[in-house]
Amino acid sequence: MKKLLLFLTLFPAVVFGQNHEENIRKIYDAELSSGHTYENLRYLTKRIGNRLAGSSGAAAAVEWTRQLMENYGFDTVYLQPVMVPHWDRGGKDVVKIVNSTKHGTLELSALALGNTEGTGPSGLVGNVIEVKSIAELRELGDKVKGKIVFFNGPMDPKKIDAFEAYGEANPQRSSGAAEASKLGAIATLVRSLSNRIDDYPHTGNQRYNPDFPKIPALAISTEDAELLSSLLSDQSDLKVYMESYGQMKTEKLSYNVIGEIRGSEIPKEIIAVGGHLDSWDVGEGAHDDGSGCMQAIEVLRLYKELGWKPKRTIRAVMWMNEENGLRGGQEYARVAKEKGEKHIAAIESDSGGFLPIGFSSTGTESQREKLKSWGDLFKPYQVWNLDRPGGGADIGPLRDQGPILIGLKPDSQKYFIYHHTEADVFEAVDQRELELGAAAMAALVYLIEQEGI
């Protein structure tokens, strides 16, 4: 007996490690051989399609994911009501150069940004003034009055993590119209937040300043942004016609969709894993964020397939309205607090169904150290970076309740090719990459439900 104890004392890590090693291998084997993630994503994208909060697509996605989890036999599946904004594009967005000495009139590939007010059928015409950033806009001051401000700041190709480049370039999209309106601009055009030069306009969220006019804000493709910039440098009196129909309608009732498997030993401790069910109203919301939702459901399905009972409660959550309001994430956290639920971890996959390379996290030193201590268990699966700070939009509101917040980090090189565009379709997702992400999340959930964090 003493010998055994000595042995256990000397090699606890090995004994501990091997068991987990085997179980994580089982997770990956099951997912890569007979996972459901990819076919579920096919259904969500091809049969339901895009699903902006408040749309019929979103309602269909709520009901379908509820049924899917019911059919998998999770212990509890329920809808959590949440009121969401309902923005409607209303019609075709048009951006047209009308007086090019070189081209005459020339239509650009455009999409109104989300939450914008349209021009209505009469459209508007104005001179265009180009800036690369909000800082440059402010330097221009009064000069933008009565004009269309063209934000043309590219994503920095030198950033290895494309999300960093996105973060830097994003203010021109999210706050450009608010800032330009303060200075009397009549509308904004914004270069699409893409790290590729192509013809897809990228929509995305923007927020008005309530004290200033809600001016139309439209994105144009990177190709057309380059073209417009080049034409402007030859012809400063270039005029652009813009037409769009966006409007914010009455709020609608929607739902977070929740499925859980109750913990067999410590059911009160909850591990949430999820993605957002809504998408923009273009493409199919495949990478953003159908992938994350189908991966989260798959985590629980793998437990059923493997016949495992988690020690702690594991919960798949499809948050609603991440794209243009974050109401689902906020409501989920509010209800959790109200009910006195104890989340020990919240894991989000909202960076695309690409090759997973790590997890980012926000938490206490001890939580983050525990996460990093599992590094060697993930390395055989090419998940190597467990040290990045981060988390996710929908899990952010849980922060003050104490769980570690964790984001699945896929490689980011290609995310912004598809993000918020017509190109974000099922075919853009690779089956193996998607499955590797689902398995990585399942392995992490497994370690946390077994060991705590």
Closer residue to its own copies in complex, CB, 29/234: 29
Single out the segment in contact with its own copies by CB under 8 A; choices: 141-149, 260-268, 388-396, 424-432.
424-432
Shortest Å, Cβ 73 to its own copies = 25
Single out the segment in contact with its own copies by CB under 8 A; choices: 25-33, 66-74, 99-107, 366-374.
25-33
Site for its own copies in 335-354 (CB under 8 A): none
- Segment (H or E) for 41: helix 37-42
Sheet of 266-276: strands edge to edge? 76-88, 247-261, 312-319, 266-276, 342-348, 404-410, 356-362, 385-389
Residues sharing a CB contact under 8 Å with residue 311, sequence separation 6 or more, in sequence order: 263, 264, 265, 266, 449, 450
Closer residue to its own copies in complex, CB, 348/433: 433
Q: Assess contact for 284 and 425: CB atoms under 8 A.
A: yes
Q: Would you count residue 29 as binding its own copies (CB under 8 A)? A: yes
Alpha-carbon span 310 to 53, nearest angstrom: 32
Bridging pattern class, strands 110-112 and 266-276: unpaired
Closest C-alpha among 296, 298, 279, 297 to residue 288: 279
Alpha-carbon span 260 to 395, nearest angstrom: 17
Alpha-carbon span 303 to 23, nearest angstrom: 11
Report how many residues bind its own copies under the rule CB under 8 A: 25
When binding is defined by CB under 8 A, the residue of 56, 366, 382, 402 that contacts its own copies is: 382
Single out the segment in contact with its own copies by CB under 8 A; choices: 98-106, 126-134, 145-153, 158-166.
158-166
When binding is defined by CB under 8 A, the residue of 8, 15, 98, 160 that contacts its own copies is: 160
Q: Assess contact for 406 and 346: CB atoms under 8 A.
A: yes
Shortest Å, Cβ 50 to its own copies = 24
Shortest Å, Cβ 273 to its own copies = 22
Q: Assess contact for 86 and 228: CB atoms under 8 A.
A: no
- Rg over CA atoms, the chain: 24
Residue type, 192: S
CA 276-39-326 angle, 5° bins: 5
Which residues are paired to 110 by β-bridges? Answer: 220
Shortest Å, Cβ 299 to its own copies = 18
Alpha-carbon span 273 to 69, nearest angstrom: 14
When binding is defined by CB under 8 A, the residue of 406, 433, 438, 446 that contacts its own copies is: 433
Draw the binding track, 169-208, toward its own copies (x: CB under 8 A; -: no contact). Answer: --------------------------xx------------
Count of CB atoms situated within 10 Å of the CB of 75: 15
- What DSSP string runs through 128-175? EEEESSHHHHHHHGGGGTTSEEEE-PPP-TT-SSHHHHHHHHTHHHHT
Chain centroid to Cα 406, Å, comes to 14
Closer residue to its own copies in complex, CB, 239/388: 388
When binding is defined by CB under 8 A, the residue of 28, 74, 303, 446 that contacts its own copies is: 28
Q: Would you count residue 221 as binding its own copies (CB under 8 A)? A: no
Draw the binding track, 82-121, toward its own copies (x: CB under 8 A; -: no contact). Answer: ----------------------------------------
Shortest Å, Cβ 159 to its own copies = 8
Largest CA distance in the chain: 92
* 239: three-class secondary structure by DSSP: strand
Shortest Å, Cβ 15 to its own copies = 24
Closest C-alpha among 450, 453, 438, 437 to residue 308: 450
Single out the segment in contact with its own copies by CB under 8 A; choices: 120-128, 185-193, 380-388, 420-428.
380-388
Q: Would you count residue 419 as binding its own copies (CB under 8 A)? A: no
Q: Would you count residue 287 as binding its own copies (CB under 8 A)? A: no
The residues annotated as belonging to the active site are 322
Q: Would you count residue 22 as binding its own copies (CB under 8 A)? A: no
Q: Would you count residue 209 as binding its own copies (CB under 8 A)? A: no
When binding is defined by CB under 8 A, the residue of 21, 75, 430, 451 that contacts its own copies is: 430
Q: Would you count residue 141 as binding its own copies (CB under 8 A)? A: no
Q: Would you count residue 436 as binding its own copies (CB under 8 A)? A: yes
Residues that bind its own copies (CB under 8 A): 28-29, 32-33, 157-158, 160, 162, 195-196, 355, 357, 380-382, 384-385, 411, 413-414, 430-433, 436
